Structure 1
């Protein structure tokens, strides 16, 4: 048809009736991948929720394996031994330390935890008595609302904590699975890493290798930083309380070390029993304990942790606390304990896969 030819009415109608069909077809083509991706994401989230306990157990094994592998590589680089023998030495050393500590102090630790529970209950009753003397009867009634009052609730909470601890100790099957998975992963990490990379299309395997290397580096240094924090705070708090003549120094030191594994929230939770026991010994002792713990915590948080996090990932406190609360609601204590390394995995994956390899922005 000539370019100067004017289209007739029929031709105009013919074009206007087919243009919407082509437009709707293209919109459906664009929407289908989006809807499929939404359904796939929802399905994966549902599957992760249903298999949450199993996935968390596997992730805990991966985290421990990364730590053992890092220690073995560091020893092999400095001593004339192979990585395999270094890994055997690290595993045996860790097992010896744990078994030795349990054999020497398990009974004493259980006894001191029971005494700690009684001390916390007595502290709550003392607070209630002081409030009653001040005339805060309405507040006392609210605190006493329920069976046993606030002191009974604290006792029940401590009892539940002891029951949970005994259940954790009795969970032999989960512990054995965790140990076996950790050793297999640490013994030959290249096997499992190569399997993951082969699941990725050939054109993206370099990105997958880079991301996995960054994840291993970040998790290794985070794990090292948490262990250093646990040892520093546990020993410092325990020895400080021992120097002040507090009988429950050992239990409080161990409790502080264990809770320090949980960033931000763990040391705050540890403050409650430490300060309660300090004030049970006297007002002056309680103030000294409180000030000393604040000083130790600030040194750990402002000196040691930043030095380690320079080689790992600097976690934003608000983000981490939000993830901790969410995972603790969904998966309980285990989710709270693993919230920080899971957040690190998510942050490193986003930085590597999306920011660097997709957007092309290099993160310094």
Structure 2
């Protein structure tokens, strides 16, 4: 005999489904409103994000100086000035050797492209001149589209180059104040929030800071790994400008997709101009192998360990972020996913049977209390 459907249970199930659907729609609506407000405030949010990322890189030396008796303002000023000088030195390290050989490189680049077209036109490829020109036009169009999308994404809410420069200076000033006054943030936040929020929000803030630091350190390690491996390959092949190319590879690791493409293209082009087609193909093979191993093995493993995320979650987050917000979305997807995981884990602790974990070490982050 078939079971009879209970009208009471069916009605209760429908009511539950309707309530869950309505609550889910409300959450999605609020998330959409929050993203809209974030987009309207992007000219302020973007330098704040950049300032926080820079602070995670510069906090360890600032913490070292503070622990050895330096005043907070002096330690923050010394670290900020040192950081600016280091960035200027890196730019000079790349620009000066390239500028000194710019004439030879530009002339050789034209010859290298012509040599590549002649090689492609001969056996075994036998590609016609029209097909080569069409392929080059298509490739240039794609590169221009990628660069355009990157510039548009980074400059959302800024609008002009002048505002972009102002944003960079604002990020540096924010980094200075984060280094100087960061340890007083949690006590101040505790005094401003009422009731239970005075306990929950500072804990989540401290854990979020630790997570952001883990992300930046993992990106720096991955970039250093790429720079060392590719730099060694270029050095073995006796390609000129090895050190600038290695530095460019490290810096470009912080810009997903386009950064690796640009750094690899520059290395292959210089190898083609200086060493010929064979070495250029070897350099291309080295870059492809390193990028594949780094992108599919080391980066997911390092980020999953440092951020507490599974490697598959890291890959999916980058894909989703890139599809939603382009280059900036790819750059911020992993830390945003990690911060969401921090909030979710803390919420599970509060809703579970066991109490929350003990607060993290307060001396390890600028948002924590320091003795």
TM-score interval, smaller chain: 0.5 to 0.7
User: If the length of structure 1 is used for normalisation, what is the TM-score?
Assistant: 0.67
Select which of 21, 33, 36 maps to 1:43. Answer: 33
User: Partners of 1:53 and 1:128 in 2: how far apart?
Assistant: 45
User: Counterpart in 1 of 2:349?
Assistant: 356
1:243 is displaced (CA, Å) by 5.1
Give the alignment of 1:256-295 within 5 angstroms. 256-262=249-255, 267=260, 270-278=263-271, 281-282=275-276, 284-286=278-280, 288-289=282-283, 293=287
Aligned to 2:306, the other structure's residue is in SS state coil
User: Counterpart in 2 of 1:4?
Assistant: none
User: Partners of 2:98 and 2:50 in 1: how far apart?
Assistant: 25
User: Partners of 1:302 and 1:32 in 2: how far apart?
Assistant: 39
8 Å Cα contact 1:60-1:338 kept in structure 2 = no
8 Å Cα contact 2:90-2:247 kept in structure 1 = no
User: Counterpart in 2 of 1:6?
Assistant: none
1:69 is displaced (CA, Å) by 2.8
User: Partners of 1:191 and 1:70 in 2: how far apart?
Assistant: 17
Give the alignment of 1:85-164 within 5 angstroms. 85-103=74-92, 106-109=95-98, 126-134=115-123, 141=130, 144-145=133-134, 149-150=137-138, 153=141
Structure 2 residue 294 is matched with structure 1 residue 337: no
Select which of 55, 59, 70 maps to 1:69. Answer: 59
Deviations 1:8-32 (A, max 9, x none): xxxxxxxxxxxxxxxx999999887
Unmatched tracts of structure 2, length 5 or more: 1-13, 155-159, 358-371
8 Å Cα contact 1:215-1:348 kept in structure 2 = yes
Select which of 28, 39, 44 maps to 1:54. Answer: 44
Deviations 1:11-67 (A, max 9, x none): xxxxxxxxxxxxx99999988766544432221122223333532322121222233
Unmatched tracts of structure 1, length 5 or more: 1-23
Aligned to 2:351, the other structure's residue is in SS state coil
Q: 1:63 to 1:199 in 2, by over 3 A?
A: farther
User: Partners of 1:307 and 1:82 in 2: how far apart?
Assistant: 39
User: If the length of structure 2 is used for normalisation, what is the TM-score?
Assistant: 0.66
8 Å Cα contact 2:150-2:328 kept in structure 1 = no
1:320 is displaced (CA, Å) by 3.6
Deviations 1:111-165 (A, max 9, x none): 668977877776665555444335867887566449x735754886799799999
User: Counterpart in 2 of 1:7?
Assistant: none
Select which of 227, 231, 234 maps to 1:234. Answer: 227
Q: 1:276 to 1:108 in 2, by over 3 A?
A: closer
User: Counterpart in 2 of 1:313?
Assistant: 307
Higher mean C-alpha deviation, range 331-340 or range 154-163? 154-163
8 Å Cα contact 1:58-1:178 kept in structure 2 = yes
Which structure is larger by alpha-carbon Rg, 1 or 2? Answer: 1
Aligned to 1:338, the other structure's residue is in SS state helix
Structure with larger RCO (C-alpha < 8 A, sep 6+): 2
Q: 1:129 to 1:170 in 2, by over 3 A?
A: farther
8 Å Cα contact 1:121-1:151 kept in structure 2 = no
User: Partners of 1:162 and 1:108 in 2: how far apart?
Assistant: 27
8 Å Cα contact 1:112-1:248 kept in structure 2 = no
1:313 is displaced (CA, Å) by 0.8
Aligned to 1:312, the other structure's residue is in SS state helix
